[in-house]
Amino acid sequence: MPSDKVTVMAPASIANVGPGFDVFGLALGEPYDLVTAEVRRGRGVKVRKMEGLEGHQVTLDPKRNTAAVAAAKVLEAAGADFGLSITVIKGVRPCSGMGSSGASAAGGAYAANLLLKEPLAPNQLVACAASGEEASSGSFHADNVAPSLLGGFTIVRSYDPLDVVRVEPPAQLGVVAALPDVLVPTKEARGLVPDKVPLRSMVFHVGHASSLAVAMAQGDLGLVGRSLRDVVVEPARAPLVPHLREAEAAAVRAGALASFLGGSGPCVASFFDKGRSDGRAIAEAVREVYRSNGIECATWVTSWGQGCRRWRP
């Protein structure tokens, strides 16, 4: 066995990214969870401690804890003959729309993989982490765990079989993640997503999703901005996020390329061109919308990130 203890930095991510419900995801530079996995005698995964931002709210039950379920899936897939004890320090608040459970799941899978003699392939890891995510959200979706694990912009081309494509986003792409002090459980937000969509909405989404993928690959930030629209899922969820439209409009007035609901919310995500702005005015504009309505709002001015990494403090 290569080592018997490892700590991993597992970043937040923005899922859906406009038109790509359950398909697109972008890894962030920050915030991130720290997930430590330590080999223990005997089989199975135990959760020793959940700390950090609202960590005490997260279950220690290894059958429902996303990091533990993901790590157990990795051990099972590899036929490992050891167990793990896991500790998580949450830097990504749960129910944020910033891939909090996905970050812990990705970190659990990545850390377990580092402890194997023969590590799993990236797509296998994504599948294990998505099972962890399922334990908390009730649905198998990989659009948070994929970017959190692989970094950059990811596209879930197919769920059956699971096939994820990674695209290197433009270097100049900056991200403002604004988190109003409102909780939106993913399970609840998924309950609002319509089962059926009109054909014209499907045409709109295929067009915007295709052009977003091309824009990311070609580094065309103008086209990234024009492609970030969702006429199906975000409108259905908007009632869960107070002042969403106002916040998005304020971000665009302050220079964002586009602003949209991050994951299942309440994160308000805004993309900007780092060549034209440092993002701080965008963060301030969104915070001001919430401040003037009596709601606290945390912001991160960051960039897209490289995904899970071994933590070396």
Q: Cβ 23 to ligand HSE, closest distance in Å?
A: 8
Q: Cβ 13 to ligand HSE, closest distance in Å?
A: 8
**Residue in the block written with tokens 């790590």:** 71
Burial of 42 (0-12, 13-18, 19+ CB in 10 A): exposed
Pick the closer one to ligand HSE by CB: 264 or 299: 264
Pick the closer one to ligand HSE by CB: 170 or 262: 262
Pick the closer one to ligand HSE by CB: 97 or 174: 97
List contacts with ligand HSE (CB under 6 A): 15-16, 21-22, 97, 99, 141, 143-144, 186, 189-190, 263-264
Pick the closer one to ligand HSE by CB: 91 or 263: 263
DSSP string, 65-118: -HHHHHHHHHHHHHT-S-EEEEEEEESS-SSSSS-HHHHHHHHHHHHHHHT-SS
Q: Cβ 225 to ligand HSE, closest distance in Å?
A: 21
Name the token pair of 60. Answer: 């220690």
Q: Cβ 18 to ligand HSE, closest distance in Å?
A: 12
Is 186 an annotated catalytic residue? yes
Q: How far is CA 52 from each of CA 28, 87, 115, 275, rounded to the nearest angstrom?
A: 19, 11, 24, 34
- Residue 285, CB-side half-sphere exposure with 13 Å CA sphere: 22
Q: Which of 7, 66, 186, 299 is catalytic?
A: 186
Beta-strand relationship, 153-159 and 24-40: antiparallel
* Integer Cα distance of 202 and 273 in angstroms: 29
Q: Cβ 147 to ligand HSE, closest distance in Å?
A: 11
Pick the closer one to ligand HSE by CB: 17 or 120: 17
Q: Which of 133, 134, 234, 248 is catalytic?
A: 133
Is 133 an annotated catalytic residue? yes
Residue type for position 17:
V
Name the token pair of 63. Answer: 């059958």
Annotated catalytic residues are 133, 186
